[in-house]
Amino acid sequence: MEILVDSFILYIATERGLSTAYQLSVRQTLDKLLHWAEQKKFTQWRDLGTDDLTSFLTHLRNSDLGASSLRISLVHLKIFFRFLQKRNHLEVDPAEPLLPPKTTAKLPETLDAQTVEKLLTSINPDKRLGKRDLAILELFYSSGLRLSEISNARIEFLDLDDQFIRITGKGNKTRLVPIGGRAIKALQIYLTSERPQLVSSKTSSHLFLTIHGTQITPARIRQLVKQRAKHAGIDQNIYPHLLRHSFATHLLENGADLRVIQELLGHADISTTQIYTHVDQKRLKSVHKKFHPRG
């Protein structure tokens, strides 16, 4: 059985030209299958049927393998057993009838409004880079931008008078995103009082700069968000996308239309935005349970 696994790995490496990382991923799945098969006293691949492979996938799921990882493992099984059948090691492909596991939508984490306020008000704009960092966090929460969109934001696409910023998001799609009053104020202070001090010969028109005058990177933004949260005394794990989730959730909680939130977030499909309705339903259930006499 192991010889055929080796033969298959050689096949996807040489004939299919698949990456070393993919080969390793497939090898890990098939090694788990080999170990499981040995425990079940199987000695040949032809002895395994569809029910046996279903049992193996159940074994993987019970070992805390996530749904997405389980789907990947299923793909590995399908291409392996298809290979065995085509090479006449099997008469019937037992993996062909297997269906991918249903994926359950993972609800996004969010911050409550009080925690967001605590984070933002903890930043002292009079300290070094305080104006920049406050402008970044205010813009995150005010407009729900992605991390890459904050990093790539440019001055020429910012309209402080009409309170909009033009963003090029996923799929090179451009959208106009409104900016709230507090974020506008933070941006105005940063642009007039701090950004000019960061400008150097290397400086482009990127909105947010490092101390060297270069475009701030997503990694640096992640770092400063965590540092600011720690400084604010917030124990929860804070990361940039959490502010985007909070932006969308708080809009929905306060009555915003889901289609509007979809447009603001730059989601191509409304189904991506609908995850926030589950967050709101979860909140409503908890309020009902807490306050209703028969909750």
Residue 262 has pLDDT above 60, yes or no: yes
Q: Residue 171 has what DSSP assignment?
A: G
pLDDT value at position 255?
82
Q: Hey, what are 234's tokens?
A: 């917030």
- With tokens 């005058």, the residue in question is 213
* Domains of the chain, CATH where assigned: 2-86 (1.10.150.130), 113-291 (1.10.443.10)
In contact, 279 and 107? CB cutoff 8 Å: yes
| 190 included as an active-site residue | no
More confident residue, 268 or 112: 112
| 245 included as an active-site residue | no
Helix or strand run (H / E) with residue 243: helix 240-253
Of the candidates 228, 244, 245, 250, the residue annotated as catalytic is 244
1-50 pLDDT, tens digit per residue, is 899 999 999 999 998 888 888 899 999 999 999 999 999 999 999 999 99
| 244 included as an active-site residue | yes
| 170 included as an active-site residue | yes
Identify the band that residue 291 occupies on the pLDDT scale cut at 50, 70 and 90. Answer: low
Mean pLDDT, residues 103-121? 81
Helix or strand run (H / E) with residue 167: strand 164-168
pLDDT value at position 64?
74
| 230 included as an active-site residue | no
Of the candidates 76, 132, 146, 195, the residue annotated as catalytic is 146
